[in-house]
Structure 1
């Protein structure tokens, strides 16, 4: 086994849980669940192929309530009827010691009435997202806010009972937890909005409710993570100063890690171009060893992951590269780095568990999959699945 990389070393959380290495597969939407939100056989096939190497594997996001659904093909943890599929999913992911983490969320205003089958999307305030064709959401009532918090607690219970090793709260990527924190989407003047302290409240209450489920249903080694996006470009919107204050509070909450969602691990501020310090290092300083951090974004080669660990970040997440190369960790361990695939051929899709729904979603997100031959890829799509159209 190759031992020259620090990312191959195990990590032990404060709760005593040990993960076998510092590589994480982050949550990546594959849009392949059944229409009602149940786990599909295609999803199980994909996870069976891609698990077993990383220390932690985080699922694509699951909605905690029916009205929290964000896109077609999204798996759900909103009802006990989904438990049989969730049990199979947890079992499939937990191969060779990989820890299975379920990411959970409510999409809020980032959904629409078509996806919600005629129901108007909701958010902290009736403010539409700044994106094409965005619908104006309905403002949540106090009782509805409390119900969503309860939904997160029940989703956590189901994750525990299904056999997952942890959950990750999706407080990033402009979804409902971030919407309450953002001054763009949250214009409330009650205890859920206005001041920075009030805009933190929704997330902190969810964490409190999740911990109640952990205390009641899990052993003391269940992992609770939180994913956060550092900035928004909207005006008004989340700025880094507020995020660092929020992270300072989060670091003292009953969570086990903080996952920083960025497209590039070493990204600097989107709003202050004069600041050339990577955001992840600012967050590391704020956290001050109170929580482990996961860094994600364009980490592809072993040297990329090692650079993250050498900077004092605890985990490196490989996203799109893990789609192309499901045996990335295993090949590094065996000293077979030269055989790692960094490009994708259309002839490999089935062997990688990539079905047409997943492929459509990746195309709609303009994901750069590093095709071996882009013309070959297009010709193959046209031939095999009748072309790829964005959602």
Structure 2
């Protein structure tokens, strides 16, 4: 059987993917204490490269204040480039394109992770989730300018390390989302105010990263943006807000838009009378201006085809790529019968899953990983937020 997701895809800037399958960012929590790349991370991505058209690597912080969890990658220093270069090389096996996600965690951190420093955000407003969140300190105007510049510096380092692009992580309640959200942004200066004004930080970060690409890239280099379409707090981002944000992205320099959801077929979490899939609404608002990556509970080849049928251009898999590193290769070989849709705890070393990640999967992610030892039916995220989206309590 021939699948649409096996067809190549070319971005407007000339980067061509050999197929439309993308490995979504999957946090391994396995970097060294200072954010340097480990051999465990290189082995994890090396085992999953070569089949998919593109890998979006796990998030890396662009500045020390942006660290969100232990074992997180850093791209905050030129000292990080050598290790990141090895990581990019591992991801790029057999023509797979390698994109690195970059971010600042903002208030989604704590003083333990930040070595005694208070978390920062747009405003001094404590997050509702997780319940043990700490109140952040509002960033000064000078600090905001420093962070915007840091995104550009991180992009320069990603280019030097050999990546094919960067993806701005504006989803899962991190800093880019915090500036857009009326929940976390109560500022009265130019970085706050009405919905359009709250887009200002994202616009400035996009401009900073694009300027670095224009100055330093010696090859076509992708700039992606990932967003979460809704928040469940009040006040918070609603779907209409995100559709306005999508309009802005449609006119921006970004090369693609990536939506973060536990299910690709999700409808609105806040408006239960709205039965149209969110991805379809975003696709309609984009109106062909930018390619769209759909993600969420994609496991089987038919699942991938169904996501393309919603109007997306590319399909991303996260959890399934953890379970089945050779997903694309097996589909190409007409060997779908051997695809792993469950994960055996005894096979995680064989699958090159780092030990820190194993503990996380068996903890906060247990309900969504289809463990062979799990007697319960896996959670369905068609009408609910998933753990990775920032709404559930951390381990």
Q: How high is the TM-score relative to the length of structure 1?
A: 0.94
Q: 2:18 aligns with which of 6, 17, 20?
A: 20
Aligned to 2:30: 32
Distance between the aligned counterparts of 1:246 and 1:78, measured in 2?
Answer: 27
Distance between the aligned counterparts of 1:275 and 1:141, measured in 2?
Answer: 39
| Structure 1 position 364, deviation (Å) | 3.5
Is it true that 1:161 corresponds to 2:160 in the alignment?
A: yes
Aligned to 2:268: 269
Is it true that 1:340 corresponds to 2:343 in the alignment?
A: no
Which residues in structure 2 correspond to 1:197-236 (within 5 Å)?
197-236=196-235
| Structure 1 position 339, deviation (Å) | 1.1
| Structure 1 position 16, deviation (Å) | 1.1
- Verify the 8 A CA contact 2:41 2:354 in the aligned structure 1: no
Aligned to 1:90: 88
| Structure 1 position 346, deviation (Å) | 2.1
Which residues in structure 2 correspond to 1:1-391 (within 5 Å)?
4-131=2-129, 132-367=131-366, 368-374=368-374, 391=395
- Verify the 8 A CA contact 1:15 1:220 in the aligned structure 2: no
Distance between the aligned counterparts of 1:298 and 1:366, measured in 2?
Answer: 13
The count of aligned residue pairs is: 375
Aligned to 1:381: none
| Structure 1 position 310, deviation (Å) | 2.5
Secondary structure at the counterpart of residue 199 of structure 2: helix
| Structure 1 position 123, deviation (Å) | 0.2
Structure 2 segments unaligned to the other structure (5+ residues):
376-393
| Structure 1 position 83, deviation (Å) | 1.1
Secondary structure at the counterpart of residue 74 of structure 2: coil
- Verify the 8 A CA contact 1:52 1:94 in the aligned structure 2: yes
| Structure 1 position 52, deviation (Å) | 1.0
Distance between the aligned counterparts of 1:166 and 1:148, measured in 2?
Answer: 19
Structure 1 segments unaligned to the other structure (5+ residues):
376-389
CA RMSD across the alignment: 1.1
Distance between the aligned counterparts of 1:374 and 1:228, measured in 2?
Answer: 31
Secondary structure at the counterpart of residue 262 of structure 2: coil
Distance between the aligned counterparts of 2:200 and 2:344, measured in 1?
Answer: 46
Q: Which portions of structure 1, spanning 4 or more consecutive aligned residues, are displaced by more than 3 angstroms?
A: none
| Structure 1 position 220, deviation (Å) | 4.9
- Verify the 8 A CA contact 2:279 2:310 in the aligned structure 1: no
Q: How high is the TM-score relative to the length of structure 2?
A: 0.93
Secondary structure at the counterpart of residue 61 of structure 1: strand
Secondary structure at the counterpart of residue 353 of structure 2: coil
Once the two structures are superposed, residues 33-87 of structure 1 have per-residue CA deviations (whole angstroms, 9 ceiling, x without a partner) of: 0011000011111111111111110111000001100000001000011111001
